[in-house]
Amino acid sequence: MNPAGRKVMVVPCSGIGKTYGTVSREAAYEVTEDRRPGTTDLVALSLLVLGDEDARARVRAHPAVTIDGCKLACAAKMVRESGGHVAQDIAVLDVYRRNRELKPQGIAELNEGGQQLAHAVAAEIAAIVDDLISREEAPDHA
Amino acid sequence: MPDFLETTVDKFIFKVATDRLYTPEGVWALEDGDRIRVGVTDLVQQRSGDVAFAEVKAAGTVVATGDEVASIETIKTNVAVPSPIGGAIAEANPAMELTPEVINQDPYGEGWLAFIDPSDWATDRGALLDPQAYFVVMKAEAEEEAKKL
C-alpha cells in the first residue's frame, strides 16, 4: 500500500572493483526491482557526483536510504551534499558482522555468501522502506 | 597520548608512535609495567581496510616470536598478526569482540590487541626496530604501494 504515492530513493555506493561495493549494488537492485518496486527508485551515485539535476531533485524530494561498502560512506555524504535527507545509511560491513557466515567474495560475480549477504542487506532496506512509507508525516529535511 | 612521526604518501597520512618498538611487518610492542602491549601499526590498518572481525589467541596461550597472536579479517583481506616477542598471552583486548573497528580508529591506543607476559623481553626487544627505523621501513612500503594505485 502506498496511497500517498510516496517514494524512497535507494542510493548504493559505487565501489567499483570492490566486493562490498558489489554487495551494495546487488542489494539496491534487489530492493528496487524485486522487493519494493512500487515504493522505491534507484539513484546512481555517479549522477549525484556529476551534479545531475534530475538525480539531485529526486533525493531532495524523497527520503533516501543509502548503502555504503566502506567507512568513507560516499553514498550518504553525496546525498547530503546534494541537499537530500538520509533516512538511514546501511553499512554492508555492519550487516556482515551480524551474519558472519555470509562472507562475501568476488567482484564481478559474488560468491554464494556475497549473494546471501546482498539478500540480507536488501531485506533490511525493505523493512526500512516499509517503515518510511507507513509514516504519514512529510519527510524531515532538517 | 604518544607523539608521532608522520608522512604523507599520495593522499594518505601514515603515523608511527614514538613510544614503542616495532617489527618490520608492522606489529608494535609497548612496555606497560611487567607486560608488553601489542597491536598493529597505522600502515597495517590502512593497508588492510575496514576491520570486520578480530580474534586474539586465548589468555594463557604461549607464543614464540613470529607465532600468530591474532587474526584480523577486513573487507579486503585476512591478516595473521605475528607476535613481536615470545611469552604467554595475558589478556586480549575485550573491544575486539564487539568493536574491532577500533583497530582502524585508534591503532596505537584503544585498538591494541593483547597483553603478553614476556619470556625474555631483554633479548626480544633487541631484535625490534626503534620508531625511527620502522618509520623508514613504513615509508618505503607506503611509497611502493602508492605506485600500484
Q: What is the pLDDT of residue A136?
A: 52
Comparing alpha-carbon positions, the chain B residue that sits nearest to A92 is B75
Whether B104 and chain A come into contact, CB under 8 Å, resolves to yes
Contacts of A73 in chain B (CB under 8 A): none
The domains found in chain B, sorted by start residue, are: 4-148 (2.40.50.100)
Looking at beta carbons, which residues of chain B come within 8 Å of A19?
75
- Percent pLDDT > 70 in chain A is 92
Q: Is the pLDDT of residue A83 over 90?
A: yes
Q: What is the mean pLDDT of chain B?
A: 96
Instruction: Kindly provide the b/e burial profile for residues A51-60, where b requires at least 16 CB atoms within 10 angstroms of the residue's own CB.
Output: eeeebbebbb
B107 contact partners, CB below 8 Å, separation of at least 6: B39, B40, B41, B42, B44, B45
Give the C-alpha separation, A16 to A24, whole Å.
10
Per-residue cell: B62: 604461549
Task: Give one DSSP letter per residue of B16-65, joined into a string.
Answer: EETTSEE-TTSEEEEEETTEEEEEE-HHHHHHH-SEEEEEEPPTT-EE-T
Nearest to A100 among B49, B53, B104 (CB): B53
What mean pLDDT comes out for the span A23-29?
Answer: 97
Asked whether residue A17 carries a pLDDT value surpassing 90, the answer given is no
Which H helix or E strand runs over A56? helix A53-61
Give the CA dihedral A53, A57, A63, A65, nearest 10 degrees: -10
Residue A140: what pLDDT?
53
Provide the pLDDT for residue B149.
75
CATH pick for A8-134 out of 1.10.720, 3.40.50, 2.60.40, 3.90.1690 = 3.40.50
As a whole number of angstroms, the distance between CA A120 and CA B145 comes to: 34
Cβ <8 Å between B52 and A20: no
- Tally C-beta pairs within 8 A across A and B: 17
What pLDDT, in 10s, does the model give residues B12-24?
A: 999 999 999 999 9
> What ranges do the domains of chain A cover?
8-134
Contact A93 B50 (CB under 8 A): yes
3-class DSSP state of A91: strand
Position A49 scores a pLDDT of 96
pLDDT band at A142 (very low <50, low <70, confident <90, very high): very low
- Average pLDDT of chain A to the nearest whole number: 92
Interchain CB contact of B49 with A (< 8 Å): yes
pLDDT digits (tens, 9 = 90+) for B43-80: 999 999 999 999 999 999 999 999 999 999 999 999 99
Global confidence as pTM: 0.87
Asked whether B54 and B96 are in contact (CB, 8 A), the reply is yes
Which of A7-21, A42-56, B114-128 has the lowest average pLDDT? A7-21
- CB distance from A69 to chain B under 8 Å? yes
Q: How far is CA A78 from CA A13, A45, A123, B33, B80, in A?
A: 9, 7, 23, 47, 35
Give the pLDDT confidence score for residue A105 in this predicted structure: 94
Q: Which of B55, B75, B101, B148 to mutate to test the interface with A (most CBs of A within 10 A)?
A: B75
C-beta separation of B125 from B29 below 8 A: yes
Task: Name the percent of chain A lying above pLDDT 90.
Answer: 84
Give the ipTM of the model, two decimals please: 0.80
pLDDT at A15: 82
Phi then psi dihedrals of residue A96, to 5 deg: -65, -40
* A16 band by pLDDT with thresholds 50, 70 and 90: confident
pLDDT digits (tens, 9 = 90+) for A109-137: 999 999 999 999 999 999 999 999 998 55
pLDDT of residue A4: 65
Answer yes or no: do B50 and A71 touch at CB < 8 A: yes
Give the chain B residue whose CA is nearest to the CA of A107. B76
Q: What is the pLDDT of residues A39-69, one digit of tens each?
A: 999 999 999 999 999 999 999 999 999 999 9
Say if strands A8-12 and A63-68 run parallel, antiparallel, or are unpaired. parallel
B107 min Cα distance to partner chain A (Å): 16
Whether B113 has a pLDDT exceeding 70, the answer reads yes
Count, in order, helices (H) and strands (E) of chain B.
5, 11
Judge contact between B100 and B21, C-beta under 8 A: no
The residue among B50, B104, B106 with the most chain A CBs within 10 A of its CB, best to mutate, is B50
* Interface membership of A18 toward B (CB under 8 Å): yes
Residues paired with B31 in a beta bridge = B36
Q: How many H-runs (helices) and E-runs (strands) does chain A carry?
A: 6, 4
Taking the C-alpha atoms of residue B101 and residue A77, their distance in angstroms, rounded to an integer, is 20
- Strand partners of residue B39: B28
CA distances from B44 to A50, A119, B51, B114, B125 (A): 33, 31, 11, 16, 21
